[in-house]
Chain A
């Protein structure tokens, strides 16, 4: 086998689109984002509020139906500073690092992964308070919640 070399390669493209129905919970969330509001959902069993809302609580295996508004302020529970972006599978260096945070919104029990924008990255730390910043003209998509900014 060590004598054998296969140098010819064939490129085989694989590209197609999927259509998913987002389901009731995410639909409510997206509709609320279009009105610059963030929705969570409360589990009737453990009473935790999950963001973004999902229809089933994993630990309790119960259907959740009670939507509650959370945020727009919250606390940075964890974060990483992105030095790269992954674009179509390529890991590309970026000139301006940015913060990916896990935010505990006021009134929520789960953490939301979101971008945190700060003039000075050094000023970002666990425990800092943040506020949601929405697009000026939200369209009811996940992109409406643009980032969080530091407050206080």
Chain B
């Protein structure tokens, strides 16, 4: 990369099914707390990259109302309407251009309180066929993806439920998570409300209100903010076709391609050996092994064995989602940005009860679309 760019600060709201504050208030407090903690002000921010979704927000050009609250008034500002991980990549590019030394990336969604989550998710679908037929939706598609993986690689329902339980136990160690179940077991997951087989309610992310902000800085600006920078070493994104029937859904080729590019940029040649932890934007427990394999962290089809052996646990050989991941909380469009913040927290030794020992290199991932159609990968190092 032309410049050395680091995450110099991050802040998250507590995640909730129904925030008690309007989103503008939430964003003001989020950015203020981040800047205060760094001894910085909005004058220190070169460019703002915001991330929100107009359908989610119920208003077009959704950022126009949040600008004053974020401190972006009369500043250089732009918006991304994919996942927050894409917003971070966009912010990085603006800093790499040399025109800005810092970028503040902010994502938010009120997916818990402001509307029925699945009502909005319907608008992910092709309007001409899938929405007309009425069979495919975010959950049924994820169920087909889960079944395709389990059928091909022999992962059992028990193992799939164990992946969810592992995430929910991890989420219990994350004070900001919404769904926190310290004693979650596979049985609890299998006893939760059935949706589309093999998925139950606890296999899926909970509709969430919340926001996340990350400040990045380049070269000499870094030390103005922190003595614990987390360097952005490699980034990439890639998109598959929308059409499920045209994809091999028991794998995730677009995440694999994005990971290969991000690793090449970061000089990672053996991800499963060099990377110490991963924060993966798996909206359903079944996506965790599929995406972890696409990211080269575990061998193809090993999802059942990985969870049985505890390799993906907090104390395991390569922990996946030590924060609890999206099963603990997931504001739509912000999930990937949160994964990046959680990975940065790990590398700075700030992950509290969920701290992975001696973490030096992490990979974070964000997705958009049905069955992870679009994937963004970010490699971080301390």
Contact = CB atoms under 8 A, between A and B. Distances in A.
A21 to B, nearest CB: 9
B25 A6 contact: yes
Given A100-B136, A100-B144, A81 B197 contact: yes
A86 B29 contact: no
Contacts of A83: 194-197
Contact of A110 (B20, B143, B245): B245
Interface in A115-135: 115, 126
B65 interface: no
Contacts of A22: 128
Interface string B346-363: 000000000000000000
Contacts of A51: 245
A112 B244 CA distance: 9
A80 B116 contact: no
A100 B117 contact: no
Contact of A100 (B129, B135, B246): B135
A81 B116 contact: no
Contacts of A5: 20
B382 interface: no
A50 interface: yes
B21 A102 contact: no
A93 to B, nearest CB: 8
B140 A100 contact: yes
B137 interface: yes
B148 interface: yes
Given A6-B20, A82-B140, A142-B133, A1 B29 contact: yes
A141 B21 contact: no
Contact of A12 (B58, B127, B139): B58
B139 A86 contact: yes
A78 B247 CA distance: 12
A89 B118 CA distance: 4
B19 to A, nearest CB: 9
B227 to A, nearest CB: 28
B153 to A, nearest CB: 13
Interface residues on B, range: 35 or more
B25 A79 contact: no
Contact of A78 (B22, B148, B199): B148
Contacts of A89: 115-120, 122
A51 B243 CA distance: 10
Given A1-B29, A4-B25, A90 B140 contact: no
B22 A79 contact: no
Contacts of A62: none
A6 B29 CA distance: 15
Nearest to B58: A14
* Residues of A in contact with B, size category: 35 or more
B35 to A, nearest CB: 15
Contacts of A26: 128-129
A93 B116 CA distance: 16
Interface in A38-61: 50-52, 54, 58-59
B308 interface: no
Contacts of A16: none
Contacts of A137: none
Interface in A56-97: 58-59, 78-84, 86, 88-91, 93
Contacts of B29: 1
B119 A88 contact: yes
A32 interface: no
Contact of A142 (B129, B197, B246): B129
Contact of B144 (A52, A58, A79, A90): A79
A84 B196 contact: yes
23 contacts: A1-B29, A4-B20, A20-B128, A51-B245, A58-B241, A58-B243, A78-B144, A78-B148, A79-B144, A80-B143, A80-B196, A82-B196, A83-B197, A84-B194, A90-B116, A100-B143, A100-B144, A102-B144, A102-B244, A111-B244, A113-B130, A114-B135, A115-B135
Interface of B: 20-22, 25, 29, 58, 115-120, 122, 127-130, 132-133, 135-137, 139-140, 143-144, 146-148, 151, 193-199, 241, 243-246, 249
Q: Which 8 residue pairs of A and B lie closest in terms of their CB atoms, listed nearest first?
A: A89-B119, A89-B116, A111-B245, A80-B143, A81-B197, A83-B194, A58-B241, A110-B245
